[in-house]
Amino acid sequence: MNKAKIGIFGGSGFYSLFDKKSDISEKTEYGYPSASVSVGKIDAKNVAFLPRHGPHHQFPPHKVPYKANVSAFKELGVERIIGPCAAGSLQPDIKPGDFVICDQLVDRTWGRDDTFFHGPEVAHVSFAEPYCPEMRKVAIEACKKLGINFHPKGTVVVINGPRFSTKAESKWFSSAGWQVINMTQYPETILAREMEMCYLGIALITDYDVGLEGHPEVKPVTAAEVGKIFASNNERVKKLIAEIIKNLPEKRCCNCGAAMGNAEI
């Protein structure tokens, strides 16, 4: 089996990565992942790729097999995960086409299996900083080098989906000062933390959620528009990922790899 220390979860509109690759299709302890895991080379490093929604977008956000996906990466030896995602903007200064290097999240999902610890092993993992600080620094420098319009931090509120927000909900999220809205960053992030893997969340802004107050010309988001914007920016996403991978240090200097040290009871 091909091993890989870096894994990438492809978001909406991002279903393939490599021209030359090995496909690995194996059932994990938590069932089958969304698709076969592809392993290829980026900057001479083995990298695993998995489209979180499946190759034909057959898994809606509330039905993505998150535990199987994360477990499949863990079994391949993945230590760091890059999680690009399509996302909506909640603030006027964050525009469609911008990238946001997320630093915080708010979980508004429900009914998702978001832990590997259902007993008799019990663990309470620290999640104060949900995104790896080391990977975030590398991503920020990569955005600067490539001349990408980006925001070095942002809080993503994760809604359950598959529906989009009401105007009242979106106004609530915006007034709280949160920047980004998405449907898949949780529980992917916490499951990676429980597996002691680093996680980097990169939000590609595709829309303004339900529109902008005072700007009637900005219409509420549609699924078709999200797919269109993300697809047209796929090459930018891939270039950014390649630049990040190129500059990641071989050894991790963060605390993600020791996250479970004081978590189990």
**Catalytic residue ranges:** 207, 209
Q: Which of 184, 183, 198 is nearest to 244 (CA)?
A: 198
Phi, psi of 238 (to 5 degrees): -65, -40
| Tokens matching residue 225 | 């528009």
Give helix 234-247 / helix 133-146 axis angle, nearest 10°: 120
Residues 6+ apart with CB under 8 A from 216: none
| Tokens matching residue 42 | 């980026």
Kindly tell me the sign of the dihedral angle through the C-alpha atoms of 176, 177, 181, 184.
negative
Q: What is the DSSP letter of 61?
A: G
Exposed/middle/buried for 63, CB within 10 Å: 0-12, 13-18, 19+? middle
d(CA 6, CA 245): 8
- Angle, alpha carbons 257-258-261 (nearest 5°): 155
Cβ(197)–Cβ(73) under 8 Å? yes
| Radius of gyration of the chain measured on its C-alpha atoms | 17
d(CA 67, CA 116): 8
Count of CB atoms situated within 10 Å of the CB of 123: 15
Q: How many CA atoms lie within 13 A of 143 on its CB side?
A: 19
